[in-house]
């Protein structure tokens, strides 16, 4: 079983990203566009996915699939929402946060916009997104699928992947590599701490790198 | 008369934006590019406007119209500056802030750059802008009109409009709809609080939405 | 000799930028893309430079020149790294920070990406960059030269220039103008303080500007 | 009934755009991103619409709704496809062109990518789009609706609107204003020809503008 | 006196750009955004300048300064229009072309949008711009100055500079260096032709470069 | 042995791209930014690679590695140049074209800028690039490696890959899949021609797609 507490306290997005690099599993770390709405937000959990699209019929009920997907969230999950980078409206806010938290969801990563930032910060629910505005998604953005593969911040995400996100960014571990990655990451964390000590004592960067293989 | 205290404490950009949506008045909420220079900045006030443009004659006196417009600010006004998104230099800084505050202005929203961020934060004057650099606008950006319609963050703003801005963004209420919007917004705030309670008790999102019409 | 304490406490990027403007030395202040990773970061120091480039052979040792450049840093220097704006991976992190601090470097300004943000903030080492992600530069970005001219945030930087960076941005003073610029900046700081007092007492902006020449 | 031949021969996007401006109907002309794939392509017809979205399940049948929409095209229609600006794959090509032509469609305007450019040019079917690549939309872009409002190049388009497109761009006339716009456009065309003659004879621009109201 | 025929036939933007490089006069060649509206358009002439800005009062007369500037064009001049990259509307079209041609102007270079492309091509008047749409500048873009310094495609242009533009781009020769640049350019053209012959005979690039200093 | 004539005449970038899709080999087709400098340019050949970077020491000899790489080109090769999208200067021109042609190279694909467009068109040498300007790369862009993996238009390219480029774009076939891809592509071309005939006879798109599997 995954020990999320260990991940959130001892590991982090950068170490997990390095481990995947070392295994030759590339393209798993999101680009610079996906940022936490508060610097202290950290989350590790299993990916649940939703795919959304802009639409332009303001009279249409755009909430049905979206609400179904959120109501289906399970404890320990992180909702991963792809809207193909739409910055037209905020597809996440405080009321969705309240609903997701009740179901035990641990956070949300979206390649779009969020709002109600002050209220979400107050409850400390981790939200990673591309930007902020005050515009409702009602009639503007519609969920067209959930439980499907999505692409966020340049990374393909499948339901069941492990998502680790903090101030450094968001990394996605393929579902069948989770155990291996965590084990290796703990070892890297250990070696990095030795590297740090040597550097503090003045050893040259290249010598340290040759000795411990991390930097 | 407009009770700004009620707006700033009970309402906010997102609720105002929703109310305008509900009235079919669209395109009044700014895009993600206009952000507060400090997360706790909130402002509500009446729009005064200024239009600026890049220019390239460093010897030219570029301050005359700009200073006239700032010196003409009246208590309760928010200065709305359109420079067509110029990021060439900072068109707002601490000394302009000091002058605007003396005249009772409540804040400034610009689609350009600000500087003297530390000093402006110290006095707590709300500044919403597109970015920060340390370059003076002297000889670089010139005011070509004031009291005219402007476009900021994708929104047309007319003198006399109500501007409400906070961490979620900036929304502009047309001058002839201010009373109606505030009244409706207080009602939405009330219903949202009920929605929140139901969600906290585990009601499904779609059921709550059907019952209260907000989310 | 340069008194860095005076610069960091009494002066700042905006005043230095104004002084260079006044001397007709333009194009020395960086654009809005280069930002501190923490709002309280301030640095003044002498530029050391490094030029990097994306590369695509993951098996290649990309660290040799980079580590050599960092190991050669001298007390009082600020490392200026140009990677032509690459956002592909983080070319600066905590271990490089540890190495640079040991050598007495005062900060780093990069036109690329940083990571290990939480740890770097903890030691308070000033890092100015274009963004954040968790991806290692190993095999992705390679140093191709150091001690050479570079371009960062739109500004040409030469080894030996004075770099002053704070929340308002980053300004670069050509090596042969450092003394003159600091002297003039202290005078501008003095006049600005008088300008501020007059504005607080309600004098019009244009009158103040005519009287003190600053705003 | 609309005389398309008159529109294509005597009028054009620029004149239609001016007439809508004169009526105070703004926001009907597309921005610079939508271009013809051949400089000689001109089309006037009635809008049929389709809304598409990127999706990431390569195994999914993404063609069903798309083909249904194209097979439903009627003579004289111009297919207006909104994919929210996706440049991931070409959502239009030669075989779709062949199918659309058989049904009497007059052209297609898409805010995405086309391919098979050489073959489409050979049959002279007007295609206006944002770019070209050789990537199939199969498994990448899916139609989620048709006969709905769409937004293309910044313009809202409704089924039944008149679309006029040529080398100058694309303009959309609301369905209930078509007759009025065409009538006025013929008059403007007439006055422009007089304006031109005066200018050729050396009359000043401002005098000509005062006299004929066009320029 | 400048022999424009020689420039247009024997020289061209690339050679002029190289000569300025060789003289250490940098930053005189425009970036990739400024393109001819027809591949065969070539022009050499003396810069006349105009500065424009977006504005948002549709009722305002935006033509007065603009028409005055065009009516003041003199034979042999190239009109250089800076609108700070506005792509909101076409600030150049066929009627302005007709007026400019009557006064002997040789072409126009704008950092904005043009329209009436087909008609302008028919008369063969060289127009270099950033894009095309069919939207009138009336009420949208206003001239705020002329005969002033402007910045187009990254290059500062002053009245009296020599402008040379063709399919390769646009280069601006400072007014006091025109004679020297043309003389040197004729020499470079001569050496390039020798370089070409050697390369056709199979000489290595580096050897040719060492021998003739051009490539 | 590869029959380039067959590829250039019967196949093309779009069909090759579809075949790779069908084999599950994705990410091999370049994005919309890489375009031919003339619409009739078509090329198929084996990839030779070069990696370049911006640099800022104008006095430095930046030609040595670049010229070596070009002088080493072999008959049938297509030079693939990655400069990480630099649009600072033209890294390809007429004299390099002359040298490359002498060695039997068939074309060049660069993610940067070209110049001498008119002369290159005259000799009909296929150049695919991101844009055009007249600025020399001398002292601005330096080759840092050749014969290495590069990334162009979003696609990883290795020496020995097959490159097929035409008006629809550029596709890269991994070296060990060339024979298989060409064989399959000839079959797809055959089926597409049947699809086309059926569509011309009015068969519905979906029925044709079910029958032939192409569209």
Q: How far is CA A208 from the centre of its chain?
A: 32
Q: What is the pLDDT of residue B206?
A: 87
Give the distance from residue C78's alpha carbon to the nearest chain B alpha carbon, in angstroms: 19
Q: What is the mean pLDDT of chain E?
A: 95
Give chain B positions within 8 Å (CB) of E80: none
The pairing of beta strand D155-157 with beta strand D150-152: antiparallel
State yes or no: pLDDT of C209 exceeds 80: yes
Could D196 and E94 be called an inter-chain contact, meaning their C-beta atoms sit closer than 8 Å? yes
**Where residue D213 falls among pLDDT bands split at 50, 70, 90?**
confident
Mutate to test the interface with F, among E168, E203, E209 (most CBs of F within 10 A): E168
Q: What is the pLDDT of residue B1?
A: 72
From A57, A86, A149, residue closest to D57, measured CB to CB = A149
E180 Cβ partners below 8 Å, 6+ apart?
Answer: E23
Q: How far is CA D45 from the centre of its chain?
A: 9
- Report yes or no: A81 and A170 within 8 Å, Cβ to Cβ: no
Please give the Cα distance from B176 to B155 (Å, whole number): 17
Q: List, for residues C69-106, the tens digit of each pLDDT value.
A: 999 999 999 999 999 999 999 999 999 999 999 999 99
Give the count of Cβ contacts less than 8 A between chain B and C: 90
Chains that touch A (3 or more CB pairs under 8 A): B, C, D
**Mean pLDDT within D102-108:** 97
Please give the Cα distance from D34 to D172 (Å, whole number): 13
Q: What is the pLDDT of residue A33?
A: 98
State yes or no: pLDDT of A13 exceeds 80: yes
- Report yes or no: C193 and B143 within 8 Å, Cβ to Cβ: no
Could B132 and C167 be called an inter-chain contact, meaning their C-beta atoms sit closer than 8 Å? yes
State yes or no: pLDDT of E215 exceeds 80: no
Residue F154's nearest CA partner among F170, F175, F173, F168 is F170
Q: List, for residues B102-144, the tens digit of each pLDDT value.
A: 999 999 999 999 999 999 999 999 999 999 999 999 999 999 9
Mutate to test the interface with E, among F118, F133, F137 (most CBs of E within 10 A): F133
Q: List, for residues C10-50, the tens digit of each pLDDT value.
A: 899 999 999 999 999 999 999 999 999 999 999 999 999 99
**Mean pLDDT within F31-56:** 98
**Where residue D2 falls among pLDDT bands split at 50, 70, 90?**
confident
Q: How far is CA D22 from the centre of its chain?
A: 21
More confident residue, A8 or A23: A23
pTM for this predicted structure: 0.97
Give the count of Cβ contacts less than 8 A between chain A and B: 90
C23 Cβ partners below 8 Å, 6+ apart?
Answer: C177, C180, C181, C184
Q: What is the pLDDT of residue E180?
A: 96
From B53, B54, B149, residue closest to E56, measured CB to CB = B149
State yes or no: pLDDT of D8 exceeds 90: no
Q: List, for residues F61-105, the tens digit of each pLDDT value.
A: 999 999 999 999 999 999 999 999 999 999 999 999 999 999 999
State yes or no: pLDDT of A22 exceeds 90: yes
**Mean pLDDT within C112-134:** 98
**Where residue D6 falls among pLDDT bands split at 50, 70, 90?**
confident
Could C168 and B63 be called an inter-chain contact, meaning their C-beta atoms sit closer than 8 Å? no
Q: What is the pLDDT of residue F134?
A: 98
Cα-based torsion angle of the residue sequence A85, D137, D56, D50 in order, rounded to the nearest 10 degrees: 60
**Mean pLDDT within F99-120:** 97
State yes or no: pLDDT of A187 exceeds 90: yes
**Mean pLDDT within A68-79:** 96
Q: What is the pLDDT of residue D214?
A: 73
Could D133 and F29 be called an inter-chain contact, meaning their C-beta atoms sit closer than 8 Å? yes
State yes or no: pLDDT of E1 exceeds 80: no
Please give the Cα distance from E144 to B53 (Å, whole number): 9
Q: What is the mean pLDDT of chain D?
A: 95
State yes or no: pLDDT of C215 exceeds 80: no
Q: List, for residues B60-70, the tens digit of each pLDDT value.
A: 999 999 999 99
F32 Cβ partners below 8 Å, 6+ apart?
Answer: D87, D113, D130, D131, D132, D133, F169
Structure tokens at A127: 């939200």
The fraction of chain A above a pLDDT of 90, given in percent, is: 86
First to last CA, chain A: 30
Of the candidate ranges A35-44, A59-68, B157-166, D48-57, the one whose mean pLDDT is the lowest: A59-68
State yes or no: pLDDT of A23 exceeds 80: yes
Q: What is the pLDDT of residue A47?
A: 98
Give the distance from residue C55's alpha carbon to the nearest chain A alpha carbon, in angstroms: 15
Q: What is the pLDDT of residue B214?
A: 72
**Where residue F1 falls among pLDDT bands split at 50, 70, 90?**
confident
């Amino acid at each position: 079983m995954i020990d999320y507490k260990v991940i959130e306290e001892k590991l982090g997005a950068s170490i997990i990203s390095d481990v995947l690099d070392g295994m030759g599993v590339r393209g798993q770390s999101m680009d610079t566009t996906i940022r936490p709405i508060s610097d202290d937000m950290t989350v590790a959990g299993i990916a649940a996915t939703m795919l959304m699209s802009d639409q332009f019929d303001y009279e249409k009920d755009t909430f049905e699939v979206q609400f179904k997907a959120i109501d289906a969230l399970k404890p320990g999950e992180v909702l991963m929402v792809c809207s193909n980078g739409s910055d037209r409206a905020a597809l996440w806010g405080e009321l969705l946060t309240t609903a997701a938290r009740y179901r035990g969801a641990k956070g949300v990563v979206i390649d779009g916009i969020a709002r109600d930032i002050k209220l979400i910060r107050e409850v400390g629910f981790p939200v990673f997104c591309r930007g902020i505005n005050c515009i409702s998604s009602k009639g503007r953005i519609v969920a067209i699928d959930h439980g499907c593969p999505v692409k966020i911040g340049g990374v393909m995400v499948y339901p069941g992947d492990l998502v680790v996100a903090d101030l450094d960014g968001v990394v996605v571990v393929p579902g069948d590599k989770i155990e291996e990655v965590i084990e290796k990451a703990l070892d890297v964390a250990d070696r990095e701490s030795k590297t740090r000590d040597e550097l503090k004592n003045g050893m040259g960067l290249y010598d340290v790198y040759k000795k411990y293989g991390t930097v």
